[in-house]
Copies of this chain bind each other. A is one copy, B any other.
Amino acid sequence: METKEFLAALGDALEPSRVVLDPDITSGFSRDMMPLAPSGTPLAVVFPIDTAEVAAIVKLCAAARIPIVPRGAGSGLTGAANAVDGAVTMVMTRMNAILEIDQGNRLAVVQPGVVNLDFRTAVESCGLFYAPDPSSYDWCTIGGNLSTNAGGLCCVKYGVTTDAVLGLEVVLASGEVLRTGRRTVKGVAGYDLTKLLVGSEGTLCIITEATLALRPKPAAPVTLVAAFASTEAAGEAVSGAIRAGLVPSLLEIMDATCIRAVEAKHGTKVLGDGETPAALLIGQSDAGAGVGRREMDELEVVCLRAGATFAYVTDDLAEGRMLLQARRDVLSSLEMFGTWLTDDVSVPRTRIAELISACEKISAQVGLTIGVVGHAGDGNMHPTIVYDAADPAQAAAAELAFGLMLDAGRALGGTVTGEHGVGRIKQDFLAREIGPVGLDLHRRIKNALDPDGLFNPGSMFTEAPTPAG
């Protein structure tokens, strides 16, 4: 099929307003939030409104052998939603309905384009709770969360996106519609296709609907903040918390670079007039009814035993929010000093201090500021490089540091991505981590589901298409 003919067929399949060819508009859909990833120019950007339209577009693309890049809000941090030259970018944001909230069975059925925060708010109004809360929760979509198996701050207690998915409706590369999973709490009928498809970064299917497990709304959190004179002491506190059997609902760490950035942004010291500490831990418990307070009091003792120079526990919600806000402000504070490039390394929880120390060495080696912030309770750290993107030497140094930190994480028994995914920036690191047998198995599964390489070529481990001649 000629391109012209294909575009005409696309125009017939969708309302004109939902097939966009104007480069001034389509260029707005060429990238996500990862500055390092390659991106191309989409042939067209389409906005389907239901599963039938998705299936029709997939069939048209399959017939014309034109690849498809599925895309949510574009909040991703690996370029997995970046446009590919000559491919159709399929934007799922118009399929944003919450189809059902079933309180009796604690589940919901949603379309992929619903924004995480909108969904959270809707279920909370029913006394329920959707746990996965990536930092971009106020604008990322559930479909993107599913495609990347997104995590967030609550993971330490409640797990990641895959732990909340009961079933999916997807469109396969053949254009067929497949329903996986179930509406029951448990079910083992056949292979766990649901969990295979979650986290597949748009390379195996287009997600058109999801059935999600909900939890009872937890109690209002009790918050702890603790300051340390060394990152080792903070790391020891995290290990101590695990050994003590504590299960906080949130346990975050910030190093001195991040703390100073936040202090600079707000023009105030986080600990009043005291010195800037080497590390801060911020913990919460949502166990409620006195238990939350006791858990945070126990964590305070663990922190003090590990050498905390300051520790404070509060039941006051506004105060707790304010303390947590310092954590949430890290990226925007670092941004005042240059472009940020955030990495995503997950290490065993006992190795956090070693990872921070490795990042300090890498910072010195490449001559760039690196602030370490992360989900200490589950070992998923986001060392963030600050650099001048207009300076090619600094950009090269940033890319070097990005990779060195992944190598450091792997050397500590970790993985090259805890929650952001592989996308178009970590293919080589993925290949090294999973090895040739694992890579071969990935290719065989990809080939079984998408033999013509229709979905998201160039992401994860798949071949980028050769540009049309």
Contacts and interface: CB of A to CB of B under 8 A. Distances in A.
8 contacts: A104-B239, A104-B348, A104-B349, A105-B242, A189-B416, A189-B434, A216-B246, A445-B445
Contacts of A182: 346, 414-415
B433 A189 contact: yes
Contact of A186 (B204, B245, B378): B378
Given A185-B378, A187-B418, A445-B445, 9 more contacts: A102-B350, A104-B239, A106-B242, A177-B437, A182-B346, A184-B418, A187-B415, A188-B415, A191-B200
A120 interface: no
A188 B421 contact: yes
Contact of A348 (B172, B183, B193, B291): B183
Interface string A242-276: 11011100000000000000000000000000000
Oligomer: number of copies? 2
A196 interface: yes
Contacts of A441: 172, 178, 193, 448-449
Interface stretch (A14-22, A24-32, A147-155, A388-396): A147-155
Given A178-B438, A216-B247, A188 B148 contact: yes
A190 B422 contact: yes
Contacts of A429: 189
Interface string A400-426: 000000000000011111111110001
Contact of A417 (B189, B290, B419): B189
A308 interface: no
B178 A437 contact: yes
A293 B106 CA distance: 23
Which of A246, A291, A437 has the most chain B CB atoms closer than 10 A to its own CB?
A437
Contacts of A438: 178-180, 190, 193
Contacts of A430: 189-190
A364 interface: no
A184 B346 contact: yes
Nearest 7 Cβ contacts at the A-B interface: A216-B245, A195-B195, A185-B378, A448-B448, A187-B415, A444-B448, A104-B350
Contact of A196 (B191, B413, B437): B191
A356 to B, nearest CB: 16
Contact of A418 (B186, B215, B245, B433): B186
Contacts of A179: 435, 438
Interface residues of A, number: 89
B419 A188 contact: yes
Interface in A180-233: 180, 182-193, 195-196, 198-200, 204, 215-217
Nearest to A433: B189
Given A245-B216, A247-B216, A188 B437 contact: no
A354 interface: no
Nearest to A291: B291
A176 interface: yes
Contacts of A149: 188, 192
